[in-house]
Amino acid sequence: MKVIAVLNQKGGAGKTTVATHLARALQVSGKSCILIDSDPQGSARDWAAVREENPVGVVGIDRPTLERDLKSIAEHDFAVIDGAPQAADLAASAIKAADFIIIPVQPSPYDIWAASDLVDLIKGRISVTDGRLQAAFLVSRAIAGTRLGNEVGEALEGYGLPVLASRIHQRVIYPSTAAAGKTALDVELEGDAAAEFLALGREILGLMA
């Protein structure tokens, strides 16, 4: 089972939106996927509980033993971890469990600066795994029609980790579907929001192949 962790210790980066939508996009692409909620606030668990028979199964593991606990989860093609903000021990555990780490970052200098400590943790893990761990930034909550998305990508390159080509824009459909325990892919599979996450899923699958 391949593990993708969505991590950023700064709140408001859109981790849960990215994690829930990526898990659903992987399913739509034909992969079996389970979502792991490692945030003690339980946002992904609350999201899943709203809707009966949610196609994305969610398991809560908000302990710093995540790497070991994942071994007791039923086998799937992928597990997507919704990371916890401001919890270094949980972040470290998710980093150890992951094969690929996505760091969603808003187009804001504050978010770019806040990524520094997490990047150091990830680079340390990459070094001890001889580069087997992959990690990349994802520009999240970008505003359509502005240059900020491109500018933040250029700024992030200074950290020495790649920036994904995919971009996730700020859209009303994300909070509105979340309130119903759904994703944009469940409501408008041919829409722009779904297209963004299907593209993200394809990019990640290509990098992990």
Question: Phi/psi at 161 (nearest 5 deg)?
Answer: -115, 150
Positions in the chain short of pLDDT 70: 87, 145, 147-150
Task: Please tell me the total count of domains within the chain.
Answer: 1
- Report pLDDT for 155: 84
Q: How many CB atoms lie within 10 A of CB 179?
A: 10
CATH number for position 10 = 3.40.50.300
Question: Phi/psi at 59 (nearest 5 deg)?
Answer: -120, 130
This prediction has a pTM of 0.95
Convert the pLDDT of each residue in 12-42 to its tens digit: 889 999 999 999 999 999 999 999 999 999 9
CA distance 32 to 113: 35
- Report pLDDT for 83: 94
- Report pLDDT for 11: 80
CA distance 49 to 176: 16
User: Could you tell me if 69 and 62 are in contact, meaning their C-beta atoms sit under 8 angstroms apart?
Assistant: no
**Host domain of residue 163:** 2-208
* Sequence-distant (≥ 6) Cβ neighbours of residue 139 within 8 angstroms: 104, 105, 107, 149, 152, 153, 156, 163, 164, 167, 168
Give CA separation, 7 vs 28, 99, 115, 179, 197, in Å: 23, 13, 10, 22, 17
CA distance 206 to 62: 29
- Report pLDDT for 150: 67
Helices of type H across the chain? 15-28, 43-50, 66-69, 88-97, 109-114, 116-128, 148-156, 173-178, 184-187, 192-208
- Report pLDDT for 166: 96
- Report pLDDT for 12: 82
- Report pLDDT for 152: 81
- Report pLDDT for 148: 62
Convert the pLDDT of each residue in 68-92 to its tens digit: 999 999 999 999 999 988 768 899 9
Q: Compute CA 133 distance to the chain's CA centroid, rounded to the nearest angstrom.
A: 15
Q: Specify the amino acid at residue 93.
A: S
Instruction: Quote the crossing angle between the two packed helices 15-28 and 192-208, to the nearest 10°.
Output: 80
Convert 48-77 to b/e letters by CB count within 10 Å (16 or more is b): beeeeebebbbbbbbebebbebbeeeeebe
